[in-house]
Structure 1
């Protein structure tokens, strides 16, 4: 892959201890597991292989994303790259589901209800956020802080979370609420978008770090 200007790269954090235990995480702040560290290193190596360089990186206020980004930048020899941290990129808030094992949640409510809360656009878990509510903070942040940088021919890296990234993917790819239900982003998965001079997306590539 030949890197160009106006490139946006999205990376989901490596496996966290909550991922390992199949827990709803949301605003919880677990660290990476050893596997998560290895996944982050592999993502950094893959980005290096692809020849990608960046002017700026963004991440959330949660440890698992920040540590993943730090590991990636170390692999890229970009440890001094400017990084902006903002809670707008935090994972969606899972409310009463936070900290529960997903199988246990299905027993407490129902598999169908839990699936609606996890994957659909509008469903709101008790005390938490829907994907639509997550998008209401991630998309304006993208438009305010990132879109203009892409039009200024910068290459930007975002390391964040499964659902905060899903909300951005929905916006970037103009996906319907129905289409986003089946769109999943794996830990350390890399999504690469390039944009034309008019601002429209010109290409998209999904890359697994391993």
Structure 2
């Protein structure tokens, strides 16, 4: 069985260089073309999916649709889950990264970006729309370090993906840089102090193969 991880295409925030987190931004035209190209690559590789997952943020949803469209698989069922959302950057959301470097220094900003245990500055209150109304408020963070992202992504894998693999299904997962980095850490048992070595480029398929017991065989 195969699982393909794909980060969304270039977003408006990527282009303008600010922290996005759970802020719901769309793709740039370049990002849309990247997503279509990823789907074409999937088609060329002959990979067919039985099920797909995306975060509840539009940049992954649009990427999902484009990948499935370009690979002639728009009919594949898609489930959206907040557990695949990007890392919640707290007070950094919407702030230009270069401005934060000027204010707090490159070293501190790097800790916020890549530190496993160091959270960003927390927000006092979240102001989200009704897509999160069904969640226990205690599950919704006010900021996350990478360790917290791992803690919410692993249950998604164990509870939703593993049963599908054991049922011999191929799966497409579209997420974000940090939610997919967290998943790669878990799948490949990457030490937490080496997470900054995990590179998740925009709209580049990462392909894993598993046996019938959901044990990792190889990364293509």
Residue in 2 that maps onto 1:74:
69
Equivalents in 2 of 1:95, 1:86: separation in Å? 20
Matched residue, 1:134: 149
The corresponding residue for 1:144 is: 159
Give 1:122's aligned residue. 117
8 A Cα contact 2:43 2:72, kept in partner: no
Deviation at 1:198, TM superposition (A): 4.0
Aligned length: 200
**2:189 aligned residue:** 174
Rounded to whole Å, the distance in 2 between the matches of 1:28 and 1:50 is 33
Kept in 2: contact 1:121–1:181 (CA 8 A)? no
1:9-88 to structure 2, matched below 5 A, reads 9-88=4-83
TM-score, length-scaled by structure 1: 0.93
Q: Can you list the C-alpha shifts for 1:67-110, whole angstroms capped at 9, x where unaligned?
A: 00001111111112100001111001001111111111111211
Which consecutive residues of structure 2, in runs of 5 or more, have no partner in the other structure?
123-142
Show the counterpart of 2:214.
Answer: 199
CA distance in 2, matches of 1:113, 1:32: 29
SS at match of 1:153: coil
Q: Which runs of 5+ in 1 are unaligned?
A: 1-5, 206-210
TM-score, structure 2 length as denominator? 0.89
Residue 197 of structure 2 aligns to a residue in which SS?
coil
Match of 1:103 in 2: 98
CA RMSD, 1 decimal? 0.9
Of 167, 171, 183, which aligns to 1:156? 171
